[in-house]
Amino acid sequence: MTMNPMDDFLYHLHKYMEYTTEMRSSFEHLTEHQQSLILNASPAKQGPEELSQHAYAWHDALYKTMEKK
């Protein structure tokens, strides 16, 4: 990790993007029943696809904001 807290956050956000992408890929190989169990256990009733979309949107919006400064 770096000494810069923003760089640390960006590093972890990037890793979160990677993890949600991997989860989405694993999720796609599950049976319908297994997918249902996972979705029903989710607090927001969302699967890895939505998590991945949120992570990418968060990443892109943050970088656009930082580029303007």
Which one, of 13, 15, 19, 4, lies nearest residue 57 by Cα? 13
pLDDT value at position 54?
A: 94
Helices (H) and strands (E) in the chain, counts: 3, 0
User: pLDDT tens across 25-54, in order?
Assistant: 999 999 999 999 999 999 999 999 999 999
pLDDT band for position 62 (cuts 50, 70, 90): very high
Please check whether residue 41 is in contact with residue 53, taking contact to mean a CB–CB distance below 8 angstroms. no
pLDDT at 14 over 70: yes
Q: Alpha-carbon distance 38 to 7, whole Å?
A: 32
pLDDT band for position 69 (cuts 50, 70, 90): low
